[in-house]
Amino acid sequence: MNENALREQICLFAKSLYDRGLAHGSTGNISARCEDGGLLVSPTNSSFGFLDPAELSRFDADGNQVSGAKPTKEMSLHTAFYDTRGNDAGAVVHLHSHHSVLLSMMPDVNADDMLPPLTPYPIMKLGRVKMLPYFKPGDDAMGQAIRDLGGERSAVVLANHGPVVASKDLQSAIFGMEELEAAARLTLDTLGRQPRMLTAEQVVLLSTFQS
């Protein structure tokens, strides 16, 4: 996809998230890999509802900003995924979406595998979702925590903060984020109700299936 089309796509997807209440105010950030290996990144203190394609922060393949507004203060989240997941990271999306954040605050959450195996698609699109500790927004330690995962996870939730999803392209990252938020909501809705879950054998089969 050429750069102009990618700029438009970033803003279109961001506005969709904003319009549906998955992003609010100036929360959240998004990035995508350009054909030349550089990045387009949402600016700091910007609203997903009103992103300007021309104002997106542009970085070259060496990580130098070459145009656009000042980028999100959480660049370390994005670069950590790109550096550790290689070709599996063509875009990264970070939100403060309600249900994912709420789930991260619940007691007894399995930090190594936040989402119980209730339905197929979170397993197929995200694999196991890791909950990371709380970090102050903008703290570079968030990026280091992702690097410490060695590229093994495509999605994490920062405790008391929000989810981050990396995928092969922007559409896949957006869809993965939506799946994570829906799964978090379903998990919360079934707390204490002893739902019937997928079996271990079913989970193994799903983990090898690409949707």
121 is catalytic: yes
What's the pLDDT at 131?
98
What's the pLDDT at 116?
96
Is there a contact between 103 and 187 (Cβ–Cβ < 8 Å)? Answer: yes
CA separation for the pair 202, 146 (Å, rounded): 28
Q: Which residues of the chain have pLDDT under 50?
A: none
CA separation for the pair 23, 115 (Å, rounded): 21
| Residue position matching structure tokens 């079996």 | 199
Is there a contact between 9 and 52 (Cβ–Cβ < 8 Å)? Answer: no
Written as one letter, the residue type at 175 is F
What's the pLDDT at 127?
94
Is there a contact between 77 and 162 (Cβ–Cβ < 8 Å)? Answer: no
74 is catalytic: yes
Of residues 8, 35, 121, 178, which has the active-site annotation?
Answer: 121
What's the pLDDT at 208?
76
Domain 3-207 has what CATH class? alpha beta
What's the pLDDT at 207?
82
CA separation for the pair 47, 72 (Å, rounded): 11
Written as one letter, the residue type at 105 is M
What's the pLDDT at 210?
56
Of residues 74, 178, 179, 181, which has the active-site annotation?
Answer: 74
The structure's pTM equals: 0.95
The two structure tokens encoding residue 23: 């992003």
What's the pLDDT at 110?
96
What's the pLDDT at 125?
94
